[in-house]
């Protein structure tokens, strides 16, 4: 996916101009730039300047719904979200935003800010982007991780008409406590953000992630090290005061709360509180994922966003429960270890779930029932396959019938009877297939 490098800093209603941010400074992918926000009438001086990075190419983006992605403390928008956004840009105009002093946002004001003021800064830059789309003051959908999720909650409370749906990841209606954030402020004030790298490497990621994805982990930790000290401190101060637990019932837009089972920063209970507290909430827990779900599980997060916001159907998944295990055991006994191992190895992304379905429901749910013995089930199965003309599976089941105790003569009698009830042409084809399979099995037995 191409990062097309369009960046915007909020400055109120602005001229329509592509390839520029809204202090009218032309930017290129990866470049740095100054920020000169225009203060709006009645707007507090403490509303921070927010920089947004568009992750969508130019083609048809104005026709797609605007999806806004929020970051975690100490990360950059592009480092956290780019891989996940690759699974979203075909259906959304994707824009991610950077916190003050993070990523592309080099603007750090003197004043501290609250979470509500941070959300106001985000809204300011979104209005500039929406104006470019001829949708000024229009709606958008949202997904945010950690403090990005907290901003999402604030936007849902402050702008209920505009936020149509939200996916809130690894976050909370209250994150940590003032003592925790005060400790972070003290550490960074003395030693800078580099002092946070070692601890964040342990806090941020699920077990084994840094070994599996060292490049992604390194990029995220470098983004933390490069974060402006003052910008990091200001976000910590906003988090120390943030607590909207008693306001969750005000949120009426659909909310998907996504937790990581290995996230010690914002545990699942906090996400469950959000899902249960809002009017229309749902909780999903990602197994083995830590605090930065968009980077750790980008494809899964993209799938969840598409399902929640667009209503895309959730694919069927089958787990290796007792029925599956029993079905696999029967398959191995009837079809042979080599056949099952080969079929399992050849299963790809397209067919794997179907094979799991057949193993669980056909072999584990039917073939294991006590009402008929395996010989009888083989007779029934062979007759049905002849009737339906499923020649490839018929050959497989002839092998299974021999394993289940049917003789060549019994298989012959079955096919002869099927000629009367299923048709002579069908029986003729069945004899030809059975002859080849039985000859091969008999030759193997004689050798």
Q: What's the CATH number where 208 sits? A: 3.40.50.1820
- Give strand pairing partners of 97: 52
Give residue 246's domain range: 7-310
Residue 24 clears pLDDT 70, i.e. is over it:
no
pLDDT in tens, 184-211: 999 999 999 999 999 999 999 999 889 8
Q: Are residues 71 and 219 in the same domain?
A: yes
The pLDDT-based confidence of 336 (bands split at 50, 70, 90) is confident
C-beta of residue 125 within 8 angstroms of C-beta of residue 161: no
SS3 of the chain: helix, strand, coil, percent, to 5:
50, 10, 40
The DSSP string of 346-379 is: H--TTTHHHHHHIIIIIITTTTT-TTS-HHHHHH
For residue 380, count CB atoms less than 10 angstroms from its CB and return exposed for 0-12, middle for 13-18, buried for 19 or more.
Answer: exposed
317 is a domain residue = no
The pLDDT assigned to 62 comes to 82
Q: Hey, what are 125's tokens?
A: 């830059």
> Of 310, 335, 359, which residue sits at a domain end?
310
Report the SS3 class of residue 256: strand
Q: Are residues 273 and 206 in the same domain?
A: yes
353 is a domain residue = yes
39 is a domain residue = yes
Report the SS3 class of residue 26: strand
- The percentage of residues in the chain with a pLDDT greater than 90, rounded to a whole number, is 69
**Among 58, 172, 68, residue whose Cα is nearest residue 115:** 172
- Cα distances from 160 to residues 143, 163, 238, 442, 446, in angstroms, run 15, 6, 22, 74, 78
Q: How far apart are CA 171 and CA 263, in angstroms?
A: 10
Q: Are residues 94 and 206 in the same domain?
A: yes
Q: Hey, what are 421's tokens?
A: 């009830």
Q: What is the mean pLDDT of residues 393-414?
A: 95
394 is a domain residue = yes
Q: Are residues 283 and 408 in the same domain?
A: no
The DSSP string of 8-20 is: EE--SS----SSB
> Of 263, 287, 310, which residue sits at a domain end?
310
Q: How many domains does the structure of the chain reveal?
A: 2
* Distant-in-sequence contacts of 214-222, Cβ < 8 A, 24+ apart: 216/83, 216/295, 219/79, 220/75, 220/79, 220/80, 220/292, 220/295, 221/197
316 is a domain residue = no
The pLDDT assigned to 42 comes to 56
226 is a domain residue = yes
Residue 395 clears pLDDT 60, i.e. is over it:
yes
Q: What is the mean pLDDT of residues 120-130?
A: 94
pTM over 0.75: no
442 is a domain residue = yes
Q: Are residues 257 and 145 in the same domain?
A: yes
Q: Hey, what are 373's tokens?
A: 């013995």
C-beta of residue 378 within 8 angstroms of C-beta of residue 401: yes
Q: Are residues 82 and 224 in the same domain?
A: yes
Residue 48 clears pLDDT 80, i.e. is over it:
yes
The pLDDT assigned to 44 comes to 59
Ramachandran bin of 284, using left for φ above 0, alpha for ψ from -120 to 50, beta for the remaining angles: beta
Q: Hey, what are 68's tokens?
A: 């806004």
| Chain mean pLDDT for the chain | 86
Q: Hey, what are 159's tokens?
A: 């702008």
> Of 310, 342, 363, which residue sits at a domain end?
310
Of 131 and 30, the structure prediction assigns the larger pLDDT to: 131
Q: Are residues 43 and 82 in the same domain?
A: yes
Q: Are residues 304 and 341 in the same domain?
A: no
Residue 46 clears pLDDT 90, i.e. is over it:
no
The DSSP string of 383-408 is: HHHHHHT-HHHHHHHHHHHHHTT--H
The pLDDT-based confidence of 389 (bands split at 50, 70, 90) is very high
Residue 259 clears pLDDT 70, i.e. is over it:
yes
pLDDT in tens, 68-113: 999 999 999 999 999 999 999 999 999 999 999 999 999 999 999 9
The pLDDT-based confidence of 337 (bands split at 50, 70, 90) is confident
Which residue do the tokens 């940590």 mark? 176
Residue 385 clears pLDDT 90, i.e. is over it:
yes
CATH (domain of 333): 1.20.1290.10
1 is a domain residue = no
pLDDT in tens, 359-368: 888 998 899 8
Residue 173 clears pLDDT 90, i.e. is over it:
yes
Q: Are residues 199 and 275 in the same domain?
A: yes
pLDDT in tens, 424-440: 999 999 999 999 999 98
- The percentage of residues in the chain with a pLDDT greater than 70, rounded to a whole number, is 87
Q: How far apart are CA 149 and CA 246, in angstroms?
A: 17
Q: Are residues 214 and 358 in the same domain?
A: no
pLDDT in tens, 249-258: 999 999 999 9
pLDDT in tens, 56-77: 876 778 889 999 999 999 999 9
C-beta of residue 228 within 8 angstroms of C-beta of residue 101: yes
Q: What is the mean pLDDT of residues 209-214?
A: 88
Q: Are residues 349 and 301 in the same domain?
A: no
Q: Are residues 290 and 378 in the same domain?
A: no
The pLDDT assigned to 8 comes to 46
Q: What is the mean pLDDT of residues 145-171?
A: 98
């Amino acid at each position: 996916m191409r990062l097309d490098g369009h960046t915007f800093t909020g400055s109120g209603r602005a001229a329509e101009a592509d390839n520029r941010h809204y202090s009218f400074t032309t930017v290129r992918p990866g470049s740095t730039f100054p920020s000169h926000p225009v203060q709006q009438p009645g707007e507090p001086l403490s509303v921070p300047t927010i920089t947004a990075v568009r992750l969508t190419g130019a083609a048809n983006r104005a026709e797609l719904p605007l999806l806004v992605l929020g970051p975690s403390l100490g990360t950059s928008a592009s480092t956290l979200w780019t891989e996940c956004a690759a699974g979203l840009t075909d259906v959304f105009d994707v824009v991610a935003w950077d916190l003050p002093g993070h990523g592309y946002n080099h603007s750090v004001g003197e004043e501290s800010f609250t979470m509500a003021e941070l959300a106001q800064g985000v809204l300011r830059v979104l209005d500039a982007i929406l104006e470019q789309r001829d949708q000024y003051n229009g709606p958008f959908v949202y997904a945010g991780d950690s403090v990005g999720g907290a901003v999402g909650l604030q936007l849902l409370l402050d702008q209920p008409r505009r936020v149509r749906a939200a996916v809130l990841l690894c976050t909370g209606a209250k994150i940590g406590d003032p003592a925790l954030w005060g400790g972070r402020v003290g550490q960074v004030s003395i030693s800078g953000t580099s002092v946070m790298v070692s601890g964040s490497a342990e806090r941020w990621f699920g077990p084994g992630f840094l070994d599996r994805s060292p490049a992604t982990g390194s990029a995220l930790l470098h983004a933390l090290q490069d974060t402006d000290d003052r910008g990091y401190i200001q976000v910590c101060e906003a988090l120390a005061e943030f607590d909207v637990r008693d306001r969750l019932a005000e949120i009426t837009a659909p909310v998907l709360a996504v937790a990581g089972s290995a996230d010690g920063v914002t545990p699942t209970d906090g996400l469950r509180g959000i899902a249960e507290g809002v009017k229309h909430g749902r909780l999903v827990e990602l197994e083995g994922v830590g605090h930065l779900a968009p980077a750790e599980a980008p494809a899964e997060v993209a799938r969840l966003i598409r399902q929640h916001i667009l209503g895309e159907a959730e694919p069927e998944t089958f787990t290796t429960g007792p029925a599956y295990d029993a079905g696999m055991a029967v398959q191995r006994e009837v079809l042979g270890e080599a056949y099952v191992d080969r079929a399992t190895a050849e299963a790809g992304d397209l067919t794997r779930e179907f094979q799991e379905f057949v193993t669980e429901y056909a072999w584990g749910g039917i073939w294991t029932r006590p009402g008929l013995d395996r010989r009888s089930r083989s007779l029934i199965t062979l007759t049905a396959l002849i009737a339906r003309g499923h020649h490839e599976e018929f050959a497989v089941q002839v092998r299974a019938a021999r394993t289940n105790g049917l003789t060549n003569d019994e298989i012959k009698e079955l096919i002869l009877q099927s000629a009367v009830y299923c048709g002579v042409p069908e029986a003729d084809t069945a004899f030809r297939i059975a002859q080849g399979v039985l000859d091969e099995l008999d030759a193997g037995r004689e050798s």
